[in-house]
Structure 1
């Protein structure tokens, strides 16, 4: 699912460097601004898609929302690849971005709700893994398409976006529904069947499934008593406000890593280090493979062991170092005045190290933490708000980064040094550790004033304990 998201996001970094695309835009004097608009209109669409996805998820469920996102993506991608003028291209980018906003919010939400607590870091961390794979494909497709002639140089890579969107539309039909969403709809039998299917068929696994289902059902039944579905629920209590700030914070801090500046404008950054256009695309292709490899080993072997907080602190501290070195290299060896190959290699190494450190920290952890901290009654809307914050800063950086790299060079990297220093302090003092906690146990972590279980009076609890699941609804 996430490969479709990241291919759409990643292919544009190559497309905006193609001579044929520059000819299509046909405004050389203002190309830096227009190429930034191509990127930022997409991310702006993502913001609004993520904003509306919370309501759609609560109303129609996670699976149908994924399919809706895939359908809209097909529309937007077709507009881009078949655009006959620049305005049509921008509209296609907005529509496709709207779809990706829906998916970027729904996929980690869905994965969070179907994953067992002890493996949730790995399962939700696969979000970043698939994003990385999509970027790999996008980078190498972009590298290969530079050798084509005419408008097919950019129409072909944009048209290939249709393939993952179509596969997602069809494949989503075979995914199980979220058991927590089913319980909210009163479809208890279906929810129990999904939980049992996810756990396995052995007697021990079925027993564990029934225990998890019982806790899940009791908690959700209690939460429904106090549910209002209002945006103000996200800051109604001290515990909820802390959840919201953590979820929004981790998504925004992920943007402060500058990783999407590299993903979108990597070739521009490499050219600023003195590489040719062809060399920049080649290095970007190699760069794209580094993060996913690192991410795979991290989510497989480390994330569910060390938790969430320590990797985030490690990431913020590491970015301070890599951007400091990169700033010093570009400042001391300006690419238009120096041909120092060692400096070029060191600068590229810092960009690669940033990708590695991102994959060991904010890459997987931001998706896990932002979706796991909320109770069921606000998980959709809370994840939606956090994802909107992510895309809002993505819009900001995608609009200004190309202009900043070309106009103020190394001074732009000072912004990321300062931002990550602030991130480190906030994470160290205010972020909790959520490793190994079930979604129903997050109330203890965040010190909620009223535990959802306490909402049920004694009679309601007794009724719930003897409650037989409702007849399956169609």
Structure 2
């Protein structure tokens, strides 16, 4: 008969006493291996980081979808086959995955918590592969739309557990980097789709010009299906299900080089078990616990972060770049496709560089830099667009200025709203509501997606540059909200970040950065393990 959780926790504490002086305040830096090779020379850590591409591909697949839709809109072959969709018709196509998200968001949370993080990824990727095949074989508008709805359902089932698995399985000092890289790889898929649609554009009148990109959407989900069986389950999920021995084997194998006596493994298990024992009292409360009094601030931030990701003006470019470029006089398909591909490459590079600034600046400060910079750029973008239209697009310099602002805007956006959000959400959400919080975040994303899909193309057609003023106001409000409501979580382990969040709420967000930087783990050296 296996030991109870309480007995195993007592054994782990006794094990820690063997490693450290009695009564010592053990911290993560005390138990990290001192003489181990760098991670890229450690075969087990190298394998773990490779396998963590499986959850990362959930984001990459979504990036492919957004960029592919942009590219297809610029293809005359796709426009002709579907009778040049505009307004609500075009909105349905862009919004198809959003409809699917509404269908899949509740099952996504249930699967992740009931059967594990890996199960969610397996189910989601399977649906994505099927949907991509239907999309590529579409014979009419209805079939294409149905495929896009199924893509949305599959993607959300895979997205909800993916960032959680990254945070819960990564080596402790790699956690911030790996979780931030999750959404950065959105642009990996976006870049591939942009250049695939550009290449197939030159296939003449053949419908394979849009069928090939549609079929290739199955590539990343298929990779997930092939690799997920080798991916370990989340140790936190296993411990929550009282499968502590299995969790220990995973941590020993991947985090401790196979050393059964590792102090790091004992530390991780003790920290996780203690946190989960406190959280299990909420297990019977259900979905509503996310919105209880004690988690009200978390629920607000969990909804606010995805709102900022979608409603900061990026939606105009993400799904309607063709309309934006047309509004400044850039109308040829080939040039629009080149700009789409170049923008994706640019964003991928910038967002990858931004990961390096995360340990230095922290979460809250990057959010503030991001929103303030976006506001300045968007105001300039709006003014240039207004003058350009008033002068009938006759001055090419003004159009080039708007195009430059689009690139500079994405530099500002990538600072805080690309890779950082998923890391921040996994840190502010304790385990027992982490899947619920991620599902709620996807629900908010879908609600905003409805607005983006229907209002953006209609507003762009009706009032053109004047619509940008709405986003200037929204971004200004976002800056104020971040300043007054977002605590800092930099430097804490995944379990400690919950306490750090609560300290920040109680003590005031302005002082929380200093407190954590003095007391907590330095994340700036993730490779020295």
TM-score, normalising length from structure 1?
0.89
The gaps in structure 2 that reach 5 residues or longer are: 1-56, 504-529
Q: Note the 1:374-413 alignment, pairs <5 A.
A: 374-413=429-468
* Structure 1 position 211 matched with structure 2 position 267: yes
The equivalent of 1:186 in structure 2 is 242
* Structure 1 position 195 matched with structure 2 position 251: yes
Residues 142 and 112 of structure 1, relative CA distance in 2, 3 Å threshold: same
* Structure 1 position 355 matched with structure 2 position 410: yes
Q: Deviations over 1:77-128 (max 9, x none)?
A: 1111101111111110000111111222221121121235543321111112
Of residues 102-111 and 174-183 in structure 1, the stretch that sits farther from structure 2 once superposed is 102-111
TM-score, normalising length from structure 2?
0.80
The equivalent of 1:455 in structure 2 is none
Q: 1:5 aligns with which of 59, 62, 77?
A: 62
Where in structure 1 do 4 or more consecutive aligned residues deviate above 4 Å? 202-205
Q: Deviations over 1:253-311 (max 9, x none)?
A: 11122223212111221121111222111111100111111111111x21123111011
The equivalent of 1:319 in structure 2 is 374
CA distance in 2, matches of 1:202, 1:168: 26
Q: Is the 8 A contact 1:247 1:371 kept in 2?
A: no
* Structure 1 position 236 matched with structure 2 position 292: yes
The gaps in structure 1 that reach 5 residues or longer are: 449-474
The equivalent of 2:71 in structure 1 is 14
Deviation at 1:129, TM superposition (A): 1.9
Of residues 262-271 and 398-407 in structure 1, the stretch that sits farther from structure 2 once superposed is 398-407
CA distance in 2, matches of 1:442, 1:232: 22
Q: Is the 8 A contact 1:199 1:206 kept in 2?
A: no
Q: 2:427 aligns with which of 355, 366, 372?
A: 372
Q: Deviations over 1:341-396 (max 9, x none)?
A: 21111111111112222211111111111222111111111111122212221231
CA distance in 2, matches of 1:105, 1:231: 15
Q: Is the 8 A contact 1:272 1:335 kept in 2?
A: no
Q: Secondary structure at the match of 2:329?
A: coil
Q: 1:61 aligns with which of 116, 120, 123?
A: 116
Residues 70 and 336 of structure 1, relative CA distance in 2, 3 Å threshold: farther
Q: Note the 1:112-191 alignment, pairs <5 A.
A: 112-148=167-203, 149-191=205-247
Q: Is the 8 A contact 1:118 1:436 kept in 2?
A: no
CA distance in 1, matches of 2:277, 2:227: 31
CA distance in 2, matches of 1:122, 1:287: 23
The equivalent of 2:125 in structure 1 is 70
Q: Is the 8 A contact 2:73 2:322 kept in 1?
A: no
Of residues 1-10 and 133-142 in structure 1, the stretch that sits farther from structure 2 once superposed is 1-10
Q: 1:296 aligns with which of 352, 357, 377?
A: 352
Q: Quick one: higher RCO (CA 8 Å, sep 6+), 1 or 2?
A: 1
Q: Is the 8 A contact 2:291 2:299 kept in 1?
A: yes
CA distance in 1, matches of 2:134, 2:116: 28
CA distance in 1, matches of 2:258, 2:235: 20
Residues 394 and 423 of structure 1, relative CA distance in 2, 3 Å threshold: same
* Structure 1 position 89 matched with structure 2 position 144: yes
Q: Is the 8 A contact 1:251 1:370 kept in 2?
A: no
